[in-house]
Amino acid sequence: MDSILVTGNGPLNGQIPIAGAKNACLTLMPATLLSEEPLTLTNAPRLSDIKTMTALLQSLGAEVSSLQDGQVLAMSSHDLTSQTADYEIVRKMRASNLVLGPLLARFGKAVVSLPGGCAIGARPMDLHIEGLEALGAEIELKDGYLHAKAPGGLKGAVHEMRFASVGATENIVMAATLAKGTTVLKNAAREPEIVDLVECLRKMGAQISGEGTSTIEIQGVDRLHGATHQVVTDRIELGTYMLAPAMCGGEVELLGGRMSLVESFAAKLDAAGVHVEETLNGLKVARKNGRVNAVDVVTEPFPGFPTDLQAQMMALMCTAEGTSVLEERIFENRFMHAPELVRMGANIEVHGGTATVTGVERLKGAPVMATDLRASVSLILAGMAAEGETTVSRVYHLDRGYEHVVRKLEGVGAKIERIKDQ
């Protein structure tokens, strides 16, 4: 397996372009299943997860072409040959479950394997199932597959989710676009990726209102048509690279960044002593003076602090002045990066869903192992701010969520290289 070698190299300066959002693109791609007409996505990120979703859609009979060096995805589902999402593909990525709602809405049936992805908690499918059953679906779990059917078609309903799940919101909204009547989804997730999905569905002819709030209303239509849509900026990649100058010093401009995507995160950086300002081209980030200050973090659904930036924020807090407490409320088992940071000299104590980090003056390079997608990039950031060399192994996780990491960080002065497996 490849590894990444990082050497602490002082302040960073320059610009980093931010890609389209992985989590948005993985949601937008299954939307092609809702229509016989073509759906084209621009500003698509070039990631292994996108290839996995491409393979899944193609296994159903959809046509997917990657154009302009992978930044444009041209899709068509005019002649699907299957409504079964096979385990061998679905196990690789959690977002594969997002074909369930569209297949059920358009064809009245779907068979979808229970999903896989990063090992950061159970993330069950019950909220998806409850929402689709509220629309009239009949769903049974057999041999690791969800067998769903709606012989008379889906019907609009009022449904309140027990938790504001992003994936369940996306699945239910897509399914409801072709349901008969009106669906009102309460306690809906509010993430920018959901707003982006709704904007795309609206271009396809869906009648939806309330996106970005906790109540989304969908008036079902008979059919959806084709569209072209630009994928929203990746707020997690944006936040990750905002932390690079915060940890290493210097000043970096994140091209394509928008404050509205990362307001709660930027507020924490400001409290820690990191300056963030909007520019004509994005966001500019610089550490104010010396070591950052310790700040407490609680992960919450949007617009709260994102769980997908918790690991990276912990890396920053490892060298902060004082003690910080990070509480993980979204996923269990999401502190697997902590022992690896401790190998680099960090002072971290984990008790259940809470990590207490007492800052040290400087981390020291060490061999470390990535355990999941966000953990992998947190270790790279830590290595950039550490004394000496850090080797991060098992970086195949990284390729699922960050395109051209080495090139982007080298471009602002980091000393980093990818070591190919012999």
In percent, the amount of the chain with pLDDT more than 90 equals 85
User: Is 240 found in the same domain as 156?
Assistant: no
User: Is 264 found in the same domain as 213?
Assistant: no
In total, how many domains does the chain have?
2
Q: How many CB atoms sit inside 10 A of residue 277's CB?
A: 11
Of the pLDDT bands very low, low, confident and very high (cuts 50, 70, 90), residue 203 is very high
pLDDT at 354: 96
pLDDT at 400: 84
User: Is 314 found in the same domain as 166?
Assistant: no
User: Is 173 found in the same domain as 62?
Assistant: yes
Q: Average of pLDDT values for 67-72?
A: 94
User: Is 225 found in the same domain as 293?
Assistant: no
Of the pLDDT bands very low, low, confident and very high (cuts 50, 70, 90), residue 110 is very high
Q: Examine the pLDDT at 246 and tell me if it is beyond 50.
A: yes
> What CATH number corresponds to the domain at position 296?
3.65.10.10
Which of 184, 208, 230 finishes a domain?
A: 230
Of the pLDDT bands very low, low, confident and very high (cuts 50, 70, 90), residue 290 is confident
265 against 371, higher pLDDT: 265
pLDDT at 116: 53
Query: Which residues carry a binding-site annotation for UDP-N-acetyl-alpha-D-glucosamine?
Result: 94, 123-127, 308, 330
What is the span of the domain harbouring residue 252? Answer: 3-18+233-419
Segment 9-37, tens digit of pLDDT = 999 999 999 999 999 999 999 999 999 99
Query: Which residues carry a binding-site annotation for phosphoenolpyruvate?
Result: 22-23
User: Is 171 found in the same domain as 117?
Assistant: yes
**Sheet containing 158-160, strands listed edge to edge, beginning at the edge strand earlier in sequence:** 158-160, 182-186, 215-219, 207-209
The residue annotated as part of the active site, out of 118, 200, 248, 318, is 118
User: Is 104 found in the same domain as 49?
Assistant: yes
125 against 190, higher pLDDT: 190
How far is 84 from 99, CA to CA, in rounded Å? 9
User: Is 237 found in the same domain as 378?
Assistant: yes
Q: Examine the pLDDT at 160 and tell me if it is beyond 60.
A: yes
pLDDT at 339: 96
Query: Which residues carry a binding-site annotation?
Result: 22-23, 94, 123-127, 308, 330
Q: Examine the pLDDT at 156 and tell me if it is beyond 80.
A: yes
Picking from 168-177, 254-263, 389-398, which range would have the lowest pLDDT averaged per residue?
A: 389-398
Q: Average of pLDDT values for 378-383?
A: 98
Of the pLDDT bands very low, low, confident and very high (cuts 50, 70, 90), residue 118 is very low
Of the pLDDT bands very low, low, confident and very high (cuts 50, 70, 90), residue 121 is very low
* Positive/negative CA dihedral, 350, 355, 358, 359: positive
93-122: string of b/e by CB count within 10 Å (b at 16+)?
Answer: bbbbbbbbbbbbbbebbbbbbbbebbebee
pLDDT at 422: 65
In degrees, rounded to 5, the angle at the alpha carbon of residue 417 between the alpha carbons of residues 68 and 54 is 35
Q: Is 318 a catalytic residue?
A: no
Segment 41-67, tens digit of pLDDT = 999 999 999 999 999 999 999 999 999
User: Is 284 found in the same domain as 250?
Assistant: yes
User: Is 154 found in the same domain as 46?
Assistant: yes
User: Is 206 found in the same domain as 252?
Assistant: no
Are 106 and 176 within 8 A, CB to CB?
no
Which of 230, 252, 285 finishes a domain?
A: 230
Q: Average of pLDDT values for 232-243?
A: 97
Tokens of 49: 């997860």
pLDDT at 373: 85
Q: Average of pLDDT values for 165-189?
A: 97
Which of 186, 205, 230 finishes a domain?
A: 230
pLDDT at 122: 44
pLDDT at 401: 85
How far is 254 from 24, CA to CA, in rounded Å? 19
Q: Average of pLDDT values for 358-371?
A: 96
User: Is 222 found in the same domain as 74?
Assistant: yes
Q: Average of pLDDT values for 120-124?
A: 48
pLDDT at 143: 87
pLDDT at 117: 46
Q: Average of pLDDT values for 278-300?
A: 95
Share the mean pLDDT of the chain: 94
